[in-house]
Amino acid sequence: MTIRNIFLLLCVIELFLTPAWAGPVSLDAGQVATLRELIKQNDEAAGLYRQQYKIAASALNDDPDPVRVLVGEGKLNSDPDKIKSDTALHDMQKANALAWVWLVGQDDRFAQKGSEFILAWARVNKPDGDPINETKLEPLIVAYDVLRPRFTPQDRALVDAWLENRANMLWNDPRHRTENWQSHRLKIVGMVATVTDDEQLWMAVEQGFKRQMSLSFLPGGASTDFGLRDAMHYHLYSVLPLVTLACVAHQRRHDWYNYQAPSGVSLRSAVEFVEPYALGKKTHVEFAHSKVSFDKVRAAAGEKEYSEHIWSSCESGPMFSEASCVDPGVRDIAVKVWCGVRHRQFVDWNSVLNSVRRGN
């Protein structure tokens, strides 16, 4: 057998022996098996999986539609570049569904198509250092975490470099190092550090998380964003990415959810701050006293979600669903406040995954 043939054989063996999971951002080996069994045994989980399958099956016939630079932050919904980016971002849901459906069912068609979407974005899209734009790549990063072991060494190096460049630009960008910008920066950089196994970057994110809790949250759990924008919407926008990051830390066997800053505030207390509003014990008029002029610009442009209105508790559903990965007590709150169809246990696909990550 020639050296070339031996090399090819080893590559094939590596492909088939590589586990169908990539680590902390997605699921470990035991959790993958638990997920498959849960889908078999639980009708609600199975129904949410079928939704993912429908998206993935449809995406098999689609071509990736990456944009060179994502546009969104600071733009009105009518902005043509934002519209173009929002259309391209449909790829995120497609890639994510393709990855999860492959992981559950092991049909290579879904892995191949998911990899095609990821590579298309890695070859075309460039970072701009704006975490409000970059945060929208989260589903693609998760998809890559699932599918990464199946990539050839060359393609893996390409995507790793794309993500590392993005993380470094985000981390070094001097703009807005507090409030929701920093929350989204920490989330994306932490996810990239985990996927690419960059321990030094992860340690920097850990210190950044602690600093963020000190600078951007008050002792009672309210975010400084809540005070600045007078909007529960922006409190959630500051908290949710940190909860996602805490879920990644949980997979790495770290408890960031209960970490207390010197002031006594924790991510748990920031989540608990929302509970009385979510459960109808308190109400809040959104944006009534916002100090940010762009909120008024958006309201004047007809973007009603930025005009004064009574906050709807169902907006908190995704945060409680995400927090269930580290806090089983909030799963019932997610079920109570979730918009639309009533649920018994699982409100979305992420709540299914978080049940597996949590271990119950």
Tens digits of residue pLDDT in 191-215: 999 999 999 999 999 999 999 999 9
Identify the pLDDT of residue 11. 43
Report the C-alpha gap between 259 and 133 in whole angstroms. Answer: 28
Would you state the pLDDT for residue 8?
A: 42
Do 171 and 287 lie in one domain? The reply is: no
Specify if 12 maps to a domain: no
**Residues 151, 295: one domain?**
no
Domain identity same for 164 and 40 = yes
Encoding tokens for residue 19?
């586990």
**Same domain, yes or no, for 222 and 277?**
yes
Closest CA to 245 of 215, 301, 276, 202: 202
- Domain containing 264 equals 218-360
Average model confidence (pLDDT) across the chain: 94
Asked whether residue 165 falls in the same domain as residue 32, the answer is: yes
Token pair 């809540």 is found at 226
In this structure, is residue 317 part of a structural domain?
Answer: yes
Q: What angle do CA 293, 297, 301 make, to 5 degrees?
A: 170
- The backbone torsions φ and ψ at residue 287, rounded to the nearest 5 degrees and listed phi first, read 65, 15
**Residue 23 scores a pLDDT above 80:** no
Out of 175, 205, 239, a domain closes at 175
How many domains is the chain built from? 2
Using alpha carbons, list the distances in angstroms from residue 220 to 90, 273, 326.
37, 7, 20
Residue 3 lies in a domain: no
Cβ neighbors of 347 (< 8 A, separation 6 or more) are 317, 321, 334, 335, 338
pLDDT score, position 26: 86
- Do residues 168 and 239 both lie within one domain? no
Q: Six-digit token pair at 17? A: 């022996």
Q: How many Cβ atoms are within 10 Å of 341's Cβ, its own excluded? A: 6
**Same domain for 44 and 125:** yes
- Higher per-residue confidence, 29 vs 357: 357
Residue 154 sits in the same domain as residue 258: no
| Domain end position, chosen among 107, 141, 175 | 175
Q: Among residues 153, 175, 197, which one ends one of the domains? A: 175
Dist CA 72 CA 87 (whole Å)? 12
Q: Is residue 136 part of a domain?
A: yes
Q: Are residues 27 and 168 in the same domain?
A: yes
Mean of pLDDT values over 292-309 = 96
Is residue 206 domain-resident? no
* pTM (predicted TM-score): 0.93
Share of the chain above pLDDT 90, in %: 91
Asked whether residue 17 carries a pLDDT value surpassing 70, the answer given is no
